Chain A
Amino acid sequence: MDLRRCVTCFVLAASLLLAGCASTNQVSLAEVRQFADASARLGGYGELSRRFRDTYEREQPYLSPAADRIAKENDARRRAVYDDFVSIQKTVVLYMQTLSVLAGDTRYDLSDRIDDLGSGLKANAESGLQQRQIAAYTGLARLLTRVIASGYQNRSVETMVRDGDADVQILLEAMITLTRLYAKTNDNEKKTVLGIFDVEIPFSTKTSDRMLVTLAKVHYLSKSTEYKLVDKRYDLALQGLTKVALGHQKLRENINNLHGDEIRKMLAAYARDLTSLRDALSD
């Protein structure tokens, strides 16, 4: 009798303890969720990818015939790779959304998003990207398809981060490299557009040039303001992507201790930084 009562007590105590653990689990992953949400919502890259694709449209009126011939070829090249660049981002965003679902207590369905990934893969096989980036893309897309299609069964934040980290890092690195190349391309565009006025305005000294010079100065002013604002965005986007990569790396390093104070504080800080970067980008 005594023994049985003891056992019952023990089982009861143990189950209370476990239940306690489970609920702390939920609470402690709030920071993971914040970080994943902030990472998924970070803007910049998509818009700057479009800007890169549309470079020719903006610079065309300013080009000499010789430069225009090269620019047309460049335009075709940029357009050919654009879809791939967007696919990379889509995969990373969906990964972060999945991570957020796993870290929360509602299991909402992301399966309509898987179709998107499938179409990205086809484009990838044909052009662009390096072998390791294609492999990372394929690997991550497969992981996401499996996890989402199974309704997140047998999945936890831990297993997701463990299985996804290597691929996520490669894709984030690719996005960082691309953003850097976008910025450099934009710099040449800016100097092409503004450069003409640097040279031609001082040459236009005739009285009859006065109206033209005035218009040119106004145009120059508005263009240089536009480029100043855009320049900042490349920088913000780069900072954001770097923070996402770092935050995920910390998550991976602390995979066995996601309830620890230190990692929770760290993730909350990354989430805050990412949110303020996003606000700065949406200004």
Chain B
Amino acid sequence: MANDTNSRPDGATPVPTAPPPGPAEALSTARQVEELADKLSECADSIHERVMRDIRHHQGQDVPESEQSAARALLNAEMELRQRANRLYAEAAGCIVSSLGQPQQHLVQLTVDAADKIRRITRIGDGITLVARLLGLAAAASTGQVVPILAAVEGLKVQLDVVAIDNAPTAPAAPA
């Protein structure tokens, strides 16, 4: 708070911004980066779980071509997400962490929501878009630049809302 001159120019979010990292700060930043990587790994686990659920659903019968390609697309996304997570682990290990540009709790909550939605998603097509948004966030997080991270956060938030509407028990509402 005392260091207002150092706050970022994104006036829209009135959160107490972190002062520039000192020696002690660097430790918590590495921890934060590790935590985000944990969540991304969990999202990858969710994707895998979701894909496997569909496959098991066929009980050893042939899986239609369209579902196969959806499963492969998700598998590729899962793999990419694991690489993003491993990138963050490597950053945390080398303490060459870049700023996450967002309050940690906010990012973590978004990824937790995403992991949950992916697991419970009904239409696999929604899953692909949601996962693409998640990948966008994971990619932005390792840049440490505020603008791409904010954009990625927005994209993920919107998609989470779309999925929430589509998965509602009532008749599916068309997304705007």
Name A residues whose Cβ lies closer than 8 Å to a Cβ of B. Answer: 52, 55, 62-64, 66-67, 70-71, 73-74, 77-78, 80-81, 84-85, 127-133, 177-178, 181-182, 184-185, 187-189, 191-192, 195-196, 198-199, 202-203, 205
Contacts and interface: CB of A to CB of B under 8 A. Distances in A.
Given A66-B76, A70-B80, A131-B23, A198 B86 contact: no
Given A62-B79, A81-B93, 16 more contacts: A70-B80, A70-B84, A74-B90, A77-B94, A77-B96, A84-B94, A128-B94, A128-B95, A130-B95, A131-B23, A132-B23, A132-B27, A185-B89, A187-B41, A199-B72, A203-B71
Contact of A202 (B34, B63, B93): B63
Nearest to A63: B79
A67 B76 CA distance: 8
Interface string B83-99: 11111011111111000
Contacts of B51: 199
**Listed residue (B30, B48, B89) with the most chain A CB atoms within 10 angstroms of its CB:** B89
B92 A181 contact: yes
A127 B37 CA distance: 22
B45 interface: yes
B44 A188 contact: yes
Contact of A70 (B48, B87, B95): B87
Contacts of A128: 94-96
A129 B27 CA distance: 10
B83 A71 contact: yes
Contacts of B90: 74, 77-78, 81, 181, 185
Give the interface residue-count category, chain B.
35 or more
Contacts of A188: 41, 44, 82-83, 85-86, 89
A129 B95 contact: yes
5 contacts: A67-B79, A71-B83, A85-B93, A191-B44, A199-B51
A191 B48 contact: yes
Given A70-B80, A130-B23, A203-B63, A184 B38 contact: yes
Contacts of B107: none
A202 B51 CA distance: 12
A73 B80 CA distance: 13
B118 to A, nearest CB: 15
A62 B41 CA distance: 18
Nearest to A173: B27
A182 B37 CA distance: 13
Given A77-B87, A77-B90, A185-B90, A195 B78 contact: yes
Contacts of A182: 93
Interface in B95-147: 95-96
Contacts of B93: 52, 78, 81, 85, 177-178, 181-182
B60 interface: yes
B10 interface: no
A116 to B, nearest CB: 21
A50 B52 CA distance: 33
A244 B151 CA distance: 46
A26 B38 CA distance: 49
B75 interface: yes
Contacts of A131: 23, 26
B48 A195 contact: yes
A132 B78 CA distance: 36
Contacts of A191: 44-45, 48, 82
- 9 closest pairs, A vs B, by CB? A70-B83, A188-B82, A81-B94, A67-B79, A77-B90, A131-B23, A128-B94, A181-B93, A64-B76
B26 A130 contact: yes
